[in-house]
Amino acid sequence: MVKNITNLSRSGLYDWMLQRVSAIILAAYTVFIGGFLLTTPDLGYEQWSGLFEQTWVRIFTLLTLLSIAAHSWIGMWTITTDYLNSRALGGKSVLIRFPVQLICFVAVFSYVVWGIQILWGQ
Amino acid sequence: MLIQLCTPQGVGTKKVNSKRPVNLDIATIKLPLPAYTSLLHRISGIALFVGVAFLLYGLDMSLSSEQSFAELKAVLTGGFAKFVVWVLLSGLIYHFVAGVKHLLMDVGIGEGKESGKTGAIVTIAISAVLIVFAGVWIW
């Protein structure tokens, strides 16, 4: 019987893979931005905004945002189903778990829309 | 991963015998070091999930105008702001290092009992060094 209907892809295997692919993208972006900040002392507005005016940086940033969305959703889903379950909270655990997952979803969705607005709405 | 293995959810099997004892209740057993690094991976993940809001707020300020960029720079010179940035960076560093270890385990490196413990120690050691470096860089 199917009992878990809140996971991202309806397939544990696909969630597993998506978690790793998004992790690699997030790691690459972390190294990219970290490397830029470390190698650019006295960073000014011109240089910084110039970086984010480049199309490939915007694409990379949006890809990162979408990776954050998938990665954090799968992660928060895993955590909520591991700890906010009926073993920990009893038979009505869904009444706590589902609202928490809903908050996570709204946050994830807001991050993506907000990020797009920052990147293209200036 | 270890925590997940230690947490039987009983999905789908629960109805078969609901009185079945849970032998791996993580609250009642002594956890090995890799379990704590895994737990810390989760906690840092939650912190980063919340932290993204602050990062986006900062990105918005940094790109909106030259004036808001300067404002953000001024805010980030404050002691408390630096501390918050350092805590966020520490979470990112730990989550990054533990994540790389996770990917290595996925390809079969450090999966054993002993190598898993070594991996946990290495994860803590590398993170600690990088977190100290991050602190030096910020202050």
DSSP B32: P
Q: What's the alpha-carbon Rg for chain A, to the nearest Å? A: 18
ipTM value, please give it: 0.92
Whether the CB-CB separation of A107 and A61 falls below 8 Å is answered with no
Sign of CA dihedral B45, B47, B50, B52: negative
How many residues are listed for chain A in this entry? 122
Query: What domains can be seen in chain A, in order of their start residue?
Result: 12-120 (1.20.1300.10)
- CA B73 to CA B7: how far, in whole Å? 45
DSSP B29: S
The dihedral region occupied by A2, where left means phi > 0, alpha psi between -120 and 50, and beta the remainder, is: beta
B104 in A contact zone (CB under 8 Å): no
Tokens 């993506």 label which residue? A112
- CA A91 to CA A80: how far, in whole Å? 15
Residues of B in contact with A3 (CB under 8 A): 11-12
> Tokens at residue B133, please?
């470096």
Q: Do A79 and B137 touch (CB under 8 A)?
A: no
pLDDT number for residue A11: 84
Cα B83–B89–B94 angle (5° rounding)? 125
Q: Do B96 and A30 touch (CB under 8 A)?
A: yes
pLDDT number for residue B47: 97
Q: What's the alpha-carbon Rg for chain B, to the nearest Å? A: 20
Q: Over the stretch B50-68, which tens digit does the pLDDT of each residue have?
A: 999 999 999 999 999 999 9
Q: Do B49 and A76 touch (CB under 8 A)?
A: yes
Q: Over the stretch A35-58, which tens digit does the pLDDT of each residue have?
A: 999 999 899 999 999 999 999 999
Residues of A in contact with B15 (CB under 8 A): 1
Backbone φ and ψ of B30, nearest 5°: -75, 125
Q: Distance from B22 to chain A by nearest Cα, in Å? A: 9
Q: Which residues contact B135 (CB under 8 A, 6 or more apart)?
A: B86
Whether the CB-CB separation of B21 and B82 falls below 8 Å is answered with no
Residues of B in contact with A120 (CB under 8 A): none
All residue ranges of chain B with pLDDT < 50 are 1-14
Q: Amino acid identity, residue A117?
A: Q
Q: How confident is the model at residue A2 (pLDDT cuts 50, 70, 90)?
A: low
- CA B100 to CA A30: how far, in whole Å? 13
DSSP B112: S
Q: How confident is the model at residue A5 (pLDDT cuts 50, 70, 90)?
A: confident
Cα A111 to chain centroid distance, Å, stands at 8
pLDDT number for residue B4: 44
Of residues B76 and A88, which shows the higher confidence score? Answer: B76
Tell me the average pLDDT of chain A.
93
> Tokens at residue B42, please?
């989760």
Candidates A56, A40, A32, A45; CA nearest to A119 is A56
